[in-house]
Amino acid sequence: MFLDRLLQTNPVLALAATHLHQRGAVRANTYLLDLDAFRHNADAIKAAADAQGLTLYFMSKQFARNPDGCRTLLEAGVHAAVAVDMQDMEALVRNDIPVGHVGHLVSPHRGAEDAVIAARPEVVTLFALESAERIGSAARRAGVEQDVLLRVTAPGDRFYPGHGGGFPLAEIEDIARAVTAVGGLRVVGVTTFPCLLFDRAHDRVESTPNFATLRQAADRLCAAGFDVRQVNAPGTTSATTMAMLAAGGATHVEPGNAFHGTAPQCLRDSASPEIPGIVYVSEVSHVAGGEAFVYAAGYYVDNVLGDFQLTALCGRDERIVERRFAVETAPDGAIHYHCMLKIPAGSDVRPGDTVVFCFRPQIFVTRGRTQAVIGVAGGDPRPLGIYDVEARPVEGVA
């Protein structure tokens, strides 16, 4: 999906991936994170947010919470991360990454309350009063008052399957009072998801009904006397969407894929400053029946732009950027052991060749590895440590 843009704006990453893989410094089934590109993108996103008075939390699940990637974003001034679920929070805490927001998509489950409070997040999102009671009890045990956001919804809001729920807008004042009465909690704002979506039919980012619901909830809570400090508006966030988010009343936003240049508008909008900073590196296992079988335990394409013909680069030297092949994959629901490159008769594709993909990833749901690399932009790529999808160092066979 993003291979053309990679070759146009950051081809040295494909070359670095090939060189490092061929000399054994990067193994198959590894997402390679270009920290130079991460920093370039983070600087652009942070500048756009600052210009609009918006506060950033960074999403790290897409790059599997790789601590080197996280630290690069912190160094760029993005002060804390989003933990969309408990696994996210555990990975961030394990690597001393500041936690800004817990529960962006998945509310903390029973038994997680004390760990959530111990992580010292700036805010925790609540979906239900039962969650409020559990989080409030943990906060009281720890002797703290935890700031919380109310997940709000109204008829007509749009959600991905499995993403719905929250407190009804029509009852938001009473809900806020009930949450406050629990003790140990302070209602400081509201959130929902998604506030923006990429409209494929018109090739642009547009606001959703959820965003209007969010603004109404904030206004109603303010009118009821609550100190609303956060109007948290995640979804399809990048440098070019900051003005739209600020105009809609957001105070806090949560970029993710844009930090590695794989938000849809980074591909479709010529004004987008972000460049691809992540590639999936693998290798040819074997060749049979006109297909090259490529290791693919980490393969997962977040296909927000609809169906397309995936392609990949395959080779063993700098000529790889000229060697592009169509890719076939297992159907949805199948285990991805291999992807298959369609190779013409007489091709010299052979086992051990490097294969480089560039697409929009969600690494945390895969069996992949991550590895950051510095010095790509300067022509001196140096790989860093290898991590699994829980951001633990990989020991043994990588």
User: According to the model, what pLDDT value does residue 331 have?
Assistant: 87
Instruction: For residue 100, give the amino acid letter.
Output: G
- Sign of the dihedral defined by the CA atoms of residues 171, 172, 174, 180, in that order: positive
Q: Report the C-alpha gap between 5 and 66 in whole angstroms.
A: 23
Please check whether residues 43 and 99 belong to one and the same domain: yes
Paired residues of 357 in beta bridges: 280
Structure tokens at 353: 């060749």
Residue 267 lies in a domain: no
Q: Which residues contact 348 (CB under 8 A, 6 or more apart)?
A: none
Tell me, yes or no, whether 224 and 312 share the same domain.
Answer: no
CA distances from 45 to 51, 58, 80, 272, 341 (A): 10, 11, 14, 10, 35
Alpha-carbon distance of 212 to 341, in angstroms, equals 45
Same domain, 13 and 100: no
What's the confidence (pLDDT) of residue 198? 95
DSSP, residue by residue, 248-273: TT-SEE---GGGGT-SHHHHH-TT--
Q: Which amino acid is at 57?
A: Y
Same domain, 227 and 284: no
CATH number for the domain harbouring residue 317: 2.40.37.30
Q: Indicate whether 393 belongs to any domain.
A: no
Same domain, 200 and 60: yes
**Do 69 and 176 lie in a common domain?**
yes
Domain count of the fold of the chain: 2
Q: Are residues 100 and 14 in the same domain?
A: no
The domain of 337 spans 3-33+273-387
The answer to the question of residue 167 being in a domain is: yes
> Do residues 129 and 178 touch, judged by C-beta distance below 8 A?
yes
Other CB atoms within a 10 A radius of the CB of residue 319 amount to 10
In a domain, 268, yes or no: no
- The last residue of one of the domains, among 204, 226, 257, is 257
CATH code of 117's domain: 3.20.20.10
Domain stop point among 257, 281, 303: 257
CA distances (Å), 72 to each of 43, 281, 374, in order?
A: 10, 21, 10
DSSP 8-state code for residue 361: B
Structure tokens at 241: 């969407």
Domain-located, residue 230:
yes
Domain final residue, candidates 205, 231, 257: 257
Examine the domain organization and report whether 174 and 55 are in the same domain: yes
- Residue 392 domain-assigned (yes or no): no
* % of the chain exceeding 90 in pLDDT: 92
**What is the reported pLDDT for 270?**
85
- In whole angstroms, give the CA distance from residue 89 to residue 150: 19
> CB within 8 A of 260, min separation 6: which ones?
33, 34, 37, 38, 41, 62, 63, 69, 276, 277, 278
| Residues in the chain with pLDDT values less than 50 | none
Give, to the nearest 10 degrees, the angle between helix 209-223 and helix 172-182: 60
Looking at the domain assignment, is residue 314 inside a domain? Answer: yes
199 and 296 share one domain: no
CB 184 within 8 A of CB 139: yes
In Å, how far are 139, 182, 187, 270 from 145, measured between CA atoms?
6, 11, 10, 45
CA-nearest of 243, 344, 249, 337 to 298 is 337
Same domain, 369 and 355: yes
**pLDDT tens-place string over residues 26-80:** 999 999 999 999 999 999 999 999 999 999 999 999 999 999 999 999 999 999 9
Same domain, 317 and 247: no
**Per-residue pLDDT tens digits for 226-282:** 999 999 999 999 999 999 999 999 999 999 999 999 999 998 888 899 999 999 999
Assess if residue 315 is contained within a domain: yes
In this prediction, residue 398 carries a pLDDT of: 59
Hunting for tokens 């957001």 — which residue is that?
A: 250
Same domain, residue pair 180 and 60 = yes
Length of the chain: 398
Q: What is the pLDDT of residue 231?
A: 98
